[in-house]
Amino acid sequence: MVVAVVDTGVNANHRDLRGQVLTGKGFGPAASTDGRTDVDAARSHGTSMASIIARRGGGPDHMLGTAPKAKILPVNAGADSNGAGSRGGVHAHG
């Protein structure tokens, strides 16, 4: 299963997500081109959301995500994409 996380990017080197993060895509000047860097320096929001989904227990508490066998497809929409920034986050229209 592959789960797309449209957020601030996902830290592919996070101990709970090693091997889980695919090469994705980044949009905007502050975003990493492959989505594998979390540009939210204060909260790491995208990495946190990916961890809830697919963490594999690499941390000291050995917690698992809701779908630890899932792969994460990171879509880095920039630092304000978690809704906390001045631009109000990512919005879907359709």
In a domain, 89, yes or no: no
pLDDT digits (tens, 9 = 90+) for 14-38: 999 999 999 999 987 788 899 999 9
In a domain, 91, yes or no: no
In a domain, 66, yes or no: yes
Q: Is the pTM of this model over 0.85?
A: no
Average pLDDT in the chain: 84
In a domain, 53, yes or no: yes
Rounded distance, CA 79 to CA 50, Å? 16
Enclosing domain of residue 50: 1-82
Q: For residue 87, name the pLDDT band (cuts at 50, 70, 90).
A: very low
pLDDT computed for residue 29 by the predictor:
79
The answer, yes or no, to whether residue 88 has pLDDT greater than 60, is no
In a domain, 90, yes or no: no
pLDDT computed for residue 82 by the predictor:
58
In a domain, 38, yes or no: yes
